[in-house]
Structure 1
Amino acid sequence: MRCGFCLPACPTYVETQDEVHSPRGRIALMKAVRDGDIHSYEEVEHSLEVCLGCRACEPACPAGVNYGHMLEEARAIFQENKEHSAKEKLTRKTVFEGMFPNQKRMEQATSLLGFYQRSGLQKTTRKLGFMKLFPRHMQQMERVLPKVPKKSGKRKAEAIFPAEGETKATVAMFRGCLMDTLFQETNRSTIKLLQKAGCEIVVPDSQNCCGALHGHSGEKSGSIDLAKKNIEAFEKVEADYIITNAGGCGAFLHDYKHLLKNDSEWSGRAQEFSDKIVDFTSILVKLKFHEEHSLNVDEQIVTYQDSCHLRNVQGVSLQPRQLILSTEGANYQEMKDADQCCGSAGIYNLTQPEMSMQILDHKMEKAKATNATTILTTNPGCLLQMKLGIEREGLTNEVRAMHLADFLLEAIEV
């Protein structure tokens, strides 16, 4: 397809007006490599790295070209065939093999951050000006990191949370890496909301990282290993749905059916797993949570920033808005281009900081135009990015960013 309907939907093309940084241009580059028309791959790899992977081009494509799968395959091919420096090998091994697949190590890393925050070391570091050695956006990121909660005892082998009142559905919850460490409170909020909606919730302990970071970074074999482990973990639970509260994780879990489609042993199991993936807002609306419970907050202007993967891959955009509009006191103002990426895109704001901050600054212009004092979203990366945007605009005392689950629990417990 070469029609160009994807161009206005692509954030990097909008920012650069360069065809090399558009979905159509990137597909042309992939094809040229395959056909042997390009023999120097640096520009091709750079173009793929600059891509956010937001997949906004997919809903815009009249032919339904699945660009996201092509992007991940291309990145995987580059990683398999390129020479890595010793430093890059060590970094990738540490991140993709040592940390994310191991929840205990994720917890240990988060505990170190918690110690840094609570011990006084954070205040001392800032007072001495140590953070000034880092780029401006890194200094700002350090200021918006959430407070790490203290570890509360040993994790149960398999946690079960009963429904409040009649049990309408049995669900298994995917807890996630960041959501289970930096955003534990949001996970707790999600569980409480599901209980109030009539769900019995099972949280399998043998689940692992979803593999999204691996898949988006060309580490395909690692993402496949994690997918198989998660499928096995959730097969042990007889649940009607598998619930996620992170748009990025949910989209990758939803795509297990594609990731394992050529594996005869796993393709059917992956399809069954993917068919059960449901975002928490979808199940709340399905079970009429917003109709059966009174939601109230103090008068405030609220806007919503879509999670790209929740909207573009899982097709969920109306449900979060339905829940917000059902909340008394929340004066909802739709943000212009709320469906366009905020520039977070996993670790994109670390690997491509210049483009990420450019996209974020334009996003904040649109957020400010709503006069919102609360910006809601449904993905941890988006949440941190919007907090960063608020910090960059000097609005920390006037505007807050929240995960929608925390906002809804606040509304029901007031």
Structure 2
Amino acid sequence: MNTIREDFEERIEENELLNCMRCGFCLPACPTYVETKSEVHSPRGRIALMKAVRDGEIKEYEEVEHSLNVCLGCRACEPACPAGVNYGHMLEEARAIFEEHKNHSFKEKTVRKTVFHKLFPNQKRMEQATSLLSFYQKSGLQKTTRKLGFMKILPKHMQQMERALPKVSQSKQPEEAIFKAEGETKATVAMFRGCLMDTMFRETNQSTIKLLNKAGCDVVVPDTQNCCGALHGHSGEKQGALELAKQNIEAFEQVDCDYIITNAGGCGAFLHDYDYLLKNDAKWSERAESFVSKIIDFSSILVELGFMDHHLDVPSQVVTYQDSCHLRNVLGVSEEPRRLIQAINGADYVEMEKADSCCGSAGIYNITQPEMSMQILDHKMEHARATQARTIITSNPGCLIQMKLGIEREGQSDVIRAIHLADFLLEAL
């Protein structure tokens, strides 16, 4: 078996590491550097650490791995970088290498196997888990648990997160796989439904389909698709991510469509990186490139098809928008959601300062790195408060839960709400 250094030499390209000019343009874009002012927690600092591992200058890896784990993986450094360094790809490869060389305890192995191999890749198990959450919320068990003080055994931010979880819908997934456009068909699209989006946020998926139908899209939902693999890729479970990527490519190859639609920034960005993930696989690389060429966020196609021409109206309210990091930094989508929001009568849009910076969610980062996550979130809520918005809109389930958590931490859940862009647009219809 290779050593960690040998794997770094084989799998992380030296030219990519050397592309970093140490210019520092990434520093103000990096949330963890902004919070700590430590080069160890900056993109160029982490690249320097990766290079030192590759060159054999570092023999003890604990600090390197800690630095990589503290990284949010928001990839805000990439659009800020004048040299076009693909930091996100190196980060995930380095995490995968460390994960492959790690000796987990029995408990850790069990948890990782349950989450990465048993739960997320299995939609039926995801639905069962969501049903348990729904039962907990609606049976009275949630109220009883809180009343008896059982939640107090959890850390404070986890207690708040339990309160911020969305109310899970009991609505069933429609059996039909094709949803016809209203009026003239302008495009045929295949929808990536996601694992969390199709269970905990199923109503948002249904909202998205209705919006696409209204815009003139026939929507096909392939039944054999699976989890996008983002959680696996970000957590060093590269093999699991590869397997899920192949399943999804195969599923969408069965559909003759103009676009593949996503409504979750994190999923969309990882799907967009399938060509990189499979670049060394002769059987799959071209198929991955074809798949990636069709990926588009739902807001982009709504703008393209002139959705703003519909009459859109909500009760008068101040609204603001929190960017999904991956939607903005990987897919390059930032103006389209704002254009859609600003087309709504009654929505007084106020831009949030640093709306393009991470909210601290980053997949399961708010669980694995709670202190940094809550520090970032508290600063995010300062900027949200300054807008005086009563509605905070976002385009990713993790961001949505994190903003709900921020509202809960502020004690403002009675006057401020967080909502997915698709649900807000459907309200406006």
TM range (shorter): over 0.9
- Amino acid in the other structure paired with 1:100: F
List aligned pairs for 1:9-408, cutoff 5 A: 9-152=29-172, 156=175, 159-291=177-309, 293-408=310-425
What is the rounded CA distance, in whole Å, between the counterparts of 1:151 and 1:314 in structure 2? 31
Separation (CA, whole Å) in 1 of partners of 2:189 and 2:394: 22
Q: Which amino acid aligns with 1:356?
A: S
Please give the secondary structure, in 2, of the residue aligned with 1:343. coil
Distance 1:169 1:364 in 2: 39
- Structure 1 counterpart of 2:27: 7
User: Tell me, which stretches of 5 or more residues in structure 1 are unaligned?
Assistant: none
Q: Matched residues in 1 for 2:172 and 2:240: separation? A: 30
Letter in 2 for 1:38: I
- Code of the residue aligned with 1:74 in structure 2: it is A
**In structure 2, distance between residues paired with 1:390 and 1:114:** 22
Rounded to whole Å, the distance in 2 between the matches of 1:76 and 1:135 is: 29
Tell me, in whole angstroms, the C-alpha distance in 2 between the residues paired with 1:142 and 1:333.
29
**RMSD of Structure 2 on Structure 1 (CA):** 0.8
- 1:101-131 CA distance string (max 9 Å, x none): 0000001111111111111110100000100
User: In the TM superposition, what whole-angstrom CA distance separates every residue of 1:317-337 from its partner, at most 9, and x where no partner exists?
Assistant: 000000011001111000000
Separation in structure 2 between the aligned mates of residue 129 and residue 89 of structure 1, nearest angstrom? 31
Which residue type is aligned with residue 55 of structure 1? R
1:352 and 1:335 mapped to 2: Cα distance? 25
Listed as ranges, the gaps of 5+ residues in structure 2 are: 1-19
Residue by residue, what CA displacement relative to the aligned partner does 1:392-414 show, whole Å, maximum 9, x if unpaired? 011111111000000000001xx
How far does residue 171 in structure 1 lie from its aligned partner after superposition?
0.1
Counterpart residue identity of residue 155, structure 2: P
Tell me how far apart the structure 2 counterparts of residues 148 and 409 of structure 1 sit (CA, whole Å).
18
Query: Does the residue aligned with 1:204 lie in a helix, a strand or coil?
Result: coil
User: CA–CA distance in 2 between the matches of 1:84 and 1:388?
Assistant: 31
CA separation in 1, counterparts of 2:127 and 2:202? Answer: 11
Structure 2 length-normalised TM: 0.95
Q: Secondary structure at the match of 2:177?
A: strand
Deviation at 1:151, TM superposition (A): 4.9
One-letter amino acid of the counterpart of residue 48, structure 1: L
Inter-partner Cα distance in structure 1 for 2:372 and 2:154: 18
TM-score (norm 1): 0.98
CA-to-partner distance for each residue in 1:152-180, whole Å, 9 max, x for gaps?
37x63x61000000000000000001100
- Structure 2 CA distance for aligned equivalents of residues 321 and 223 of structure 1: 32
Deviation digits for residues 55-85 of structure 1 (CA, Å, limit 9, x no counterpart): 0000000010010000000000001112111
SS in 1 for 2:221: strand
Which residue identity is paired with 1:218?
G
Shift of 1:17: 0.3
Corresponding residue pairs, total? 409
Amino acid at match of 1:43: E
Q: Secondary structure at the match of 1:47?
A: helix
Q: Which residue of 1 aligns with 2:13?
A: none
Letter in 1 for 2:404: K
Deviations 1:322-367 (A, max 9, x none): 0011001111000000000000000000000000000000000000
Q: Give 2:77's aligned amino acid.
A: C
> Separation in 1 of the partners of 2:82 and 2:270?
23
State the 1:150 CA deviation: 1.6
